[in-house]
């Protein structure tokens, strides 16, 4: 499938546990292009105590990668994968959360230990502050394995992202089953690669788009892989 937009990947070199060098990042971009990806949002981790690169480090790496991306034929946007930590309360109160592609969408990552109550109240706080929270790889949180909880978060105004690898069964079986159930119930807004390298956790949206096309048809595949990501980049509301 052509024209895919990957909204979650760790290709920005030397910033987190993703691509280590510009060369590796360039190879990952080539893999993405082969998979049909034409735009992507770079989402390095923001996680206090673990990944706290400065804004200038991020921009330096981003400008370094831009020329390579132009050669490959992929348009880059900048975002963050924002881990909900002890700094969250203050940052959301100050309306100071890192967003994706200069939009109001925040790619929010939780810990697998967080309770559903905590996730729901964090979502509420982001919505109250005017953000559009996207729950990063929802299948990673055991407390979400009750379908009505995902439904409730969507009703509140949150968006759901799953990883292509989970849907394809590259992780564990429960996460594959959960992703397939969410997909069949139309509770997913985005499927992204969350790619971290060219060998391990590599770009996989080509294989995944084939799978989604076969299972759900063209209209659905375009919605979760192209249309919704496009609306995000344009900062438009996804209905």
Cβ closest to Fe ion, residue 83 vs residue 223: 83
Q: Given candidates 11, 68, 194, 212, which one binds Fe ion under the rule CB under 5 A?
A: 194
Tokens of residue 61, six digits:
């790496």
The β-bridge relationship of strands 159-163 and 75-78 is unpaired
Q: Given candidates 81, 106, 195, 222, which one binds Fe ion under the rule CB under 5 A?
A: 81
DSSP 178-224: HHHHHHHTT--SEEE--B--SSSS---HHHHHHHHHHHH-HHHHHII
* Interface mask toward Fe ion for 35-74; x: CB under 5 A: ----------------------------------------
Cβ closest to Fe ion, residue 20 vs residue 184: 20
Q: Count Cβ atoms below 10 Å from residue 169 Cβ, excluding itself.
A: 14
Cβ closest to Fe ion, residue 203 vs residue 222: 203
CB 143 to Fe ion: min, Å: 19
Q: Choose one: 19-27, 50-58, 190-198, 219-227; the region binding Fe ion (CB under 5 A).
A: 190-198
Q: How many residues bind Fe ion (CB under 5 A)?
A: 2
Residue 139 in contact with Fe ion, rule: CB under 5 A: no
CB 188 to Fe ion: min, Å: 16
Q: Classify the C-alpha dihedral 219-108-17-171 as positive or negative.
A: negative
CB 198 to Fe ion: min, Å: 16
Q: What's 236's DSSP letter?
A: P
CB 89 to Fe ion: min, Å: 23
Q: Choose one: 145-153, 177-185, 188-196, 203-211; the region binding Fe ion (CB under 5 A).
A: 188-196
Q: Choose one: 28-36, 110-118, 183-191, 192-200; the region binding Fe ion (CB under 5 A).
A: 192-200
Determine the Cα–Cα distance for residues 101 and 41; give it in Å rounded to an integer: 7
Tokens of residue 42, six digits:
């770079």
What is residue 82's three-state secondary structure?
Answer: strand
Determine the Cα–Cα distance for residues 41 and 37; give it in Å rounded to an integer: 11
Q: Classify the C-alpha dihedral 174-149-187-129 as positive or negative.
A: negative
CB 187 to Fe ion: min, Å: 20
Which residues here bind Fe ion, judged by CB under 5 A? 81, 194
């Amino acid at each position: 499938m052509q024209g895919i937009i990957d909204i979650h990947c760790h290709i920005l070199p030397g910033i987190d546990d993703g691509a280590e060098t510009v060369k590796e990042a360039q190879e990952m971009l080539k893999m993405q292009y082969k998979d049909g990806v034409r735009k992507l949002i770079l989402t390095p981790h923001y996680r206090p105590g673990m990944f706290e690169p400065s804004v200038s480090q991020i921009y330096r790496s981003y400008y370094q990668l831009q020329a390579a991306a132009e050669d490959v034929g992929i348009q880059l946007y900048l975002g963050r994968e924002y881990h909900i930590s002890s700094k969250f309360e203050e940052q959301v109160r100050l309306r100071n959360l890192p967003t994706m592609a200069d939009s109001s969408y925040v790619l929010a990552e939780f810990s697998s230990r967080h309770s559903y109550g905590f996730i729901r109240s964090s979502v509420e706080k982001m919505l109250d502050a005017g953000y559009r929270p996207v729950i990063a790889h929802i299948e990673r949180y055991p407390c979400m394995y009750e379908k009505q909880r995902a439904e409730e978060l969507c009703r509140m105004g949150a968006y759901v992202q799953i990883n292509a690898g989970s849907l394809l069964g590259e992780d564990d079986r429960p996460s594959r089953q959960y992703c397939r159930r969410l997909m069949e119930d139309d509770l997913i807004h985005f499927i992204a690669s969350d790619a971290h390298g060219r060998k391990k956790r590599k770009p996989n949206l080509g294989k995944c788009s084939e799978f989604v096309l076969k299972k759900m048809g063209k209209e659905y595949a375009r919605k979760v892989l192209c249309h919704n990501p496009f609306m995000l980049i344009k900062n438009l509301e996804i209905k």
